[in-house]
Amino acid sequence: MAKNLSLPQAAAATRYEGPCGGSESSPCRLLVLGGRAPAPDWLAEVAVGREVWALDRGADACRTAGVRPDRILGDLDSISVEARRWAEVLEIETMRYDPDKDDTDFQLALGLLEGECIVTGCWGGRFDHAFSNVFSSLWGSECGADVLCFADDRELLFPLRGPSELLLSFSRVPPVLSLLPLTAVCEGVSIDNAKWPLRDVRLLQGRPWAVSNVPLGSNVAISVRSGTLGIYVGSAE
């Protein structure tokens, strides 16, 4: 089975051994979180043809990009007054939660979601938020929410659950590609067409050394036999 995803800066094809969830033909949802806002033109392009959920301040990013979300949800403690009024005028469905809750807004969304999603507005803020978002996606996959990618115009992270292979085709070759074990152990990790190729290696979460690799061209293949591997693509900054 295979899943294909197209983003402005890259196309991703994931090949699984055996059946996989989701649908190849139906577009996945786009979740817009309240971290660093993606570039408006990037967000507008990715939102085309997708159901959009804005989480709290993610509504501000949608408003700036001219993207009308299908739903706004969260405790709404950081959404701007302007975005709140904009949502009211457009009569956007809004699900408001008590700020004194255990789950994060992203975890609330994952609990409601069934199927695949892209997550943006997830970078550029506090480390604890990024940590919670990435590892919450592993929990979400057990509940039926499949995060295909954390993405904006500057950074990408693909959670790749083994046994599977990810084929990346870049519109412009990025300067950084890192392999991050998101589970305690990732077995059978390989990467081709990179400055430091790997073949069937074992990566440990407690010693993540496979960072700052460099793609040698527009096409890169990464595979993992078991465990969940995070494939990070970003700038050198």
Q: What is the DSSP string of 157-214?
A: EEEEESSEEEEEEESS--SEEEEEESSSEEEEEEEESBSS-EEEEEEETTB----SB-
**pLDDT values of the chain reduced to their tens digit, one per residue, 237 residues:** 789 999 999 999 999 876 554 444 456 999 999 999 999 999 999 999 999 999 999 999 999 999 999 999 999 999 999 999 999 999 999 999 988 888 999 999 999 998 999 999 999 878 999 999 999 999 999 888 999 999 999 999 999 999 999 999 999 999 999 999 999 999 999 999 999 999 999 999 999 999 999 999 999 999 999 999 999 999 755
pLDDT at 24: 47
Nearest in space to 181 (alpha carbons), one of 166, 199, 167, 201: 201
Q: Are 42 and 22 in contact (CB under 8 A)?
A: no
Structural domains of the chain in order of their starting residue, each with its CATH number: 27-154 (3.40.50.10240), 155-237 (3.40.50.10240)
Task: For residue 58, give the amino acid letter.
Answer: G
Task: For residue 152, give the amino acid letter.
Answer: D
pLDDT at 124: 87
pLDDT at 100: 85
pLDDT at 1: 75
DSSP tag of 8:
T
